[in-house]
Amino acid sequence: MTQTKSAPRPFGTLDSRIYAIFTLLIFAAIFIMQLVSFRFTMNTVRRSTLDNNRAMLKQLVFQMDSYITGMDPLSRAVSEDGDLQVLFSPGGEALGPAEKGRIESLIQERLNSYARTREDISDILVLGYNGIIIPSERNVTINPWTSVEDKPWYTGAAEAFDRTVVSSSYVQNLIRDRYSWVISLSRAILSLEDRSVLGILLVDLKFKRINELCRSLTVGKRGYNFILDREGNYVFHPTQQLVYSSIKEEPVEEIMALIADRTEELYQEGDRYFMTETSDITGWHVVSVVYDRDIVTDWQSVQGLYSLLGLAMFLIVGLATNRVTSSITKPIKRLQGIMRSVDTGEFRLVGNIKASDEIQELAREYDTMVTRIRELMEANTREQELKRKSDLKALQAQINPHFLYNTLDSIIWMGEMGQSEKVVQMTSALSKLFRISISKGRELIPIRDEIEHVRSYLTIQEMRYRDKFTYEIDVDPDLYEMITLKITLQPLVENAIYHGIKEADYVGFISIGGFMEDGAVILEVRDNGCGMNEAQLADLIRGLNTPPEERSTRSRQGMGVHNVHERIRIYFGREYGLTCESAPGKGTLIRVRIPAAEQEVLI
């Protein structure tokens, strides 16, 4: 039977298909990498800017607190003034009108001197409980219809005793024909003799200094700061009139909820970010507003730069792919010619397959050779069939072919990328993995070797799945010389990676432990992966006792766990084996229970 060769089709050759597929994959990878890198850069810039803004906000609160506490020396100097103490004391009522007038003039001169030293002070007044009120300016009149007893700054100072009380912003109307928007600092004037309250000191501050502080520490051209009191009322806003006339609105309720929650650091509304910091001294909540467009200003330039880098990488990798493709197809074509030379006419043809031209030729020659080899094997090794199947199962239990292929691919890839140290590390781990898997034909090995075996496996998987998971091995050193079946932990760790952590959207963690319990050795494999629901866990536990011949439809992962359980029970008895615990979102724990015995005891 002869077979006609089909005419070559576009992209029918192996090298053209590999090149086309690699090109598409590389383009997709570079595009995704570019998109992720751009977003990562923007998010990093945004996060860094917001962190800097948080630091500036704390600095602003510190400066405002320093500004407020800077008034303490002045308030103490006024409160402890000797003439003021005499005038406001009960004995001051005995003074004559001339003496009272002289003392009031002296006190007013001092108050005026204090006020003139600070441009941010609007007024200083002292109000005695004996009814005497002295302002810092001459020729001003106290509003006769104004009652100070119901003012918050007045009652608050009396209750605070020896502490300064800071008010919210309000319009001060104590002075006739003067209505200033101020913040008041008030303090009780205490008798130096018996610490009784003689009156109240009032210092009205202009908004100038607070305005300067709030405007000096902002991010971008549009950023600004404003202040709320404990109840959420405005103390200061750079557009005060617009806010009070409801032309401009701030999300005050959401900001107060953010302050009360304390679990979130910022609130976002549209393209604005709101951050808060509370003063321990005044109780004010300083709110910083940052616009997103001020955080990321040159995003178009960054995007253009990433595009140029992506194009350059695409061209470089494209040329490299062409060379790699040629290095793959040339050996295959050579192998094809060698395999064709063994076609003597005795081998039976198996027909066409849908593949590239080279693969069609290779498959035909390979099928012919395999058919001949199968006939020879059936004639010569029929009596060894059961043993061969057993050996094959044991080999499959020890080594996952896909794991080996992927590991070799990773080594090739790292070699091509020039990562020689990682190539050495992964090759060394693979070598140790095979050495312990073979173990000179012994099924029972020390737990030390089993730990080394699973450590090599984890080293390889950790290098393959970078930043996907971490692990910890904490086995009691007293167990190192105890024996266990080889390749006991590796299938369980493989189960944790592929069915617990691989699909998780966070960094996984695998813990391997070992200890003595009730005269037996307990080995544990724990992960923080997706976990199993009650039905899945019940199915896994029920399957541990399923006979091997009934497992044909189970996954390789299930076969691996079940085989470990059955092998332990065959070697050590039915009281030993595996137990499982799991819950959705909380990971899985598999415990291995084996007898506590050393190698010499079992020989």
Quick one: pLDDT at residue 517?
Answer: 92
**CATH number belonging to domain 385-602:** 3.30.565.10
pLDDT digits (tens, 9 = 90+) for 387-408: 434 443 454 454 456 677 777 7
Q: What is the DSSP letter of 549?
A: G
CB 232 within 8 A of CB 258: no
Q: Please tell me the least confidently modeled range out of 166-175, 252-261, 291-300, 388-397.
A: 388-397
pLDDT at 5 over 60: no
Quick one: pLDDT at residue 2?
Answer: 45
**Greatest mean pLDDT among 176-180, 248-252, 293-297:** 248-252
Question: First and final CA of the chain: distance in angstroms?
Answer: 61
pLDDT at 335 over 60: no
Position with higher pLDDT, 383 vs 283? 283
% of the chain residues with pLDDT over 70: 76
CA distances from 271 to 223, 268, 289, 404 (A): 11, 7, 10, 50
CB 291 within 8 A of CB 222: yes
pLDDT grade, residue 589 (50/70/90)? very high
Give the domain ranges of the chain.
Answer: 14-69+207-323, 73-201, 385-602
Buried b (16+ CB within 10 A) or exposed e, 284-323: bbbbbbbbeebbeeeeeebeeebeeebeeebeebeeebee
Beta strand 469-475 pairing with 444-446: unpaired
Quick one: pLDDT at residue 118?
Answer: 78
Tokens 């081998």 sit on residue: 347
Q: Please tell me the least confidently modeled range out of 76-90, 94-108, 248-262, 425-439.
A: 425-439
pLDDT at 262 over 60: yes
Stretch (H or E) spanning 588: strand 587-595
Beta strand 121-128 pairing with 577-583: unpaired
pLDDT digits (tens, 9 = 90+) for 129-178: 888 888 888 888 888 787 788 888 888 888 887 788 888 777 787 888 77
Quick one: pLDDT at residue 389?
Answer: 40
User: What mean pLDDT do residues 44-60 have?
Assistant: 81
Position with higher pLDDT, 324 vs 289? 289
Quick one: pLDDT at residue 361?
Answer: 66
Of 152, 78, 176, the residue nearest 121 (C-alpha): 78
Quick one: pLDDT at residue 428?
Answer: 84
CB 365 within 8 A of CB 340: yes
Quick one: pLDDT at residue 372?
Answer: 65
Architecture of domain 14-69+207-323: 2-Layer Sandwich (3.30)
Euclidean distance between CA atoms 555 and 559, whole angstroms:
6
pLDDT digits (tens, 9 = 90+) for 429-461: 788 777 777 766 677 889 999 999 899 888 888
Query: Is-same-fold flag (14-69+207-323; 73-201)?
Result: yes
**CATH number belonging to domain 73-201:** 3.30.450.20
The per-residue pLDDT of the chain, averaged, comes to 77
**Greatest mean pLDDT among 55-59, 203-207, 382-386, 472-476:** 472-476
Quick one: pLDDT at residue 356?
Answer: 56
